[in-house]
Every structure is written in structure tokens, then in C-alpha cells.
Structure 1
Amino acid sequence: MNTVKHSNDSRLQPWRKRRLTFWDRRYLPAALLAGLVGTYSDLLFVGMGLYEFPLRPFPQIFPINIVFTLGVLPLCVMIFLYYGSQVTKWGKLGIILFISLLVPILEKLAEQLGYFVHSENWQHIYSFFGYLFFLIWIDHFNHWVKSRKSRA
């Protein structure tokens, strides 16, 4: 096996190892809470028959898509919290509104791809307001956790 080493004669700077900028332990409590809230709300809404997940891992065990609620959603929340911490309060509100507007569009795409099926009673505006309040709540929870750690 050959390894490539940085030449001492080179004027180029060696590449630094890059880590994921949004992956920070400060966001883990909020990401875990987001995963739990997402999982239980999906269980509730699937149980009420408002929507279902035809394509999901372990369909005999789980009626919901656990990859989304326990993987994708917490990861997206960490990204949201990272970028939300980089902007002003109004910028964060803009990000929340943008994501909340994007969710119904992504739901329609997921329906077309066969990952998601809604009942006839479902309105996509529910998702807009659901994610709007969810993201505001998660952001407040993250702020509360940070303030508790700074006092300790």
C-alpha cells in the first residue's frame, strides 16, 4: 500500500482534516428530543390514520419510518441549530419559515416517490404549522439547555 506524504519542498499547505461543522455536542439534547417527538407524533398520526409510510424499514415491527424520525430528523435539527446560531433572531425566524414552507413541498415529493401516503382529511398546511411550532420549540429548548449549562 502506498501512502502519499506532504513534500517538504512544496509551497502548498497540507490539507487539514475537516469535520462536520454542525456536529457539535451542544446540539445533541435538542436533536435527541426532536427524534423522540418526531417518532411519537408519527406514531400518533399513523395510529389516527392521517398518513402512512408504505416504504419503510422493518415494516413488520414499526408502522413509521424510523430512519427519518431517528436519523434524518435529528441530523436536520442539528444543521438547523448550527446555522440558526450563526444568524440574528430575524434570520433564524426566516430559516424557520423557509423550512416550514419547504416541508409541504417535500411531502408532496415523498408522496410521488411512494414513501408517504396521506388520508383525504390531511391538508399540507398542517405540516407547515406543525414544523413551524416544532422548530420554534426545539430552538427554545436548545437555548434553555445552553443557559442551564452556562449557569452550572
Structure 2
Amino acid sequence: MNIVKHLNGLNSQPSPKKRSRFWNNPTLTTIFLSSILATYLDLFFVGKQMYHFPIRPLPEVFSINITFPLAGVPVLAFVFLQVMSRVNKWGKVGLIVFISLLMTIFEKFSELIGWFEHASTWNHLYTFFGYLLFLTIIYSFYRGLEKRKG
């Protein structure tokens, strides 16, 4: 028979659950969010038939090209966050505008080589403003995590 005695004077509270290092790392958490957000945005716009991907891996399984949101976006988000941490306020604004313009150009190039097709109602300004909003949200989320971390 085992007897467990309570230690008198021990008023310690149970320690709170510790989150994994992944969730404590603002960069990794933001990269994960950006990948998930990009995937769901692609799924939404493909579902609304605003665009589609004629060439994609596993077309019988995925309606979107999973390569960009699951590989390209994390790499680009990492580089984006690293550069954003090194520039001043106006540099941040300029970088977001520059990347948004660059993605609009890349989108047009992707159409020319057959990776991407838009509906006839698509306007490439949607891409510019979409990336402007996407990058602003991603960076704001990252800054919020950084402030919360300490």
C-alpha cells in the first residue's frame, strides 16, 4: 500500500501548459499563417471560378496548384519578414507596394507561360490590392506576436 503525504506549506500552483517552440516563434507562426491563408484564398477564388491552374501537381486531387502556397509562400514570407525587420517605416510601406506590383507582373507572366488562367472579368488591379492587403495582414500579425512575446 502506497501512502502519499501532502507537504505542509507547499502552496505551489500547477505549472501552466507550455506551448511548443513553434508557436512561440513569431516568424514560424507567421509563415504558417501565410501558407494557410494563401491556400484558402486560392481555394476560394478557384471555387468562385475567378481563376484556375491548368498545370498543377496531382490535378485529380487538388483544384489548386499546391506548390506556390505550400512551398513558395513560406519561403517568400520568410524573406519578406527578414527584410521588413531591417527597414524603416517608409521602407516597409515601399516594400509592400513593390512586392504587390511585382506579384501583379509575375501573375501576368504566369498566364503567358500557361501556369495560370483568369476569368474574363478579372482585373490585375485585384492582384495588386490583394497582395497589398495580404502582406499588411501578415506583417501586422507578425508584429503583434513580436510585441506579445516581449
* Residue 128 of structure 2 corresponds to residue 128 of structure 1: yes
Query: What does residue 37 of structure 1 align with?
Result: 37
Alignment partner, residue 15 of structure 1:
none
Counterparts of 1:72-151 in structure 2 under 5 Å?
A: 72-150=72-150
In structure 1, runs of 5+ residues without a counterpart are 1-24
Aligned residue pair count: 126
User: Shift of the alpha carbon at 1:26?
Assistant: 3.9
Q: Which amino acid aligns with 1:85?
A: S
TM-score under structure 1 normalisation?
0.81
Work out which of the two has the higher radius of gyration on C-alpha atoms and give 1 or 2.
Answer: 2
CA displacement at 1:27 relative to structure 2: 1.2
C-alpha separation in 1, matches of 2:120 and 2:135: 26
- Compute the TM-score of the two structures, normalised by the length of structure 2: 0.82
CA distance in 2, matches of 1:148, 1:58: 40
The one-letter amino acid paired with 1:32 is F
- Farther-moved stretch of structure 1 (25-34 vs 139-148): 25-34
Give the letter aligned to residue 124 of structure 2.
Answer: H
1:42-57 matched pairs, under 5 angstroms: 42-57=42-57
What is the alpha-carbon distance in structure 2 between the residues aligned to residue 101 and residue 114 of structure 1?
20
The corresponding residue for 1:4 is none
| Structure 1 segments (4+ residues) deviating >3 Å | none
Q: String of CA shifts for 1:10-63, please: whole Å, max 9, x gaps.
A: xxxxxxxxxxxxxxx541111110101100010000000000001111110000
The equivalent of 2:71 in structure 1 is: 71
Q: For 1:68 and 1:83, how far apart are their aligned partners in 2? A: 20
The share of aligned pairs that are identical, in percent, is 46
**Structure 2 CA distance for aligned equivalents of residues 106 and 66 of structure 1:** 17
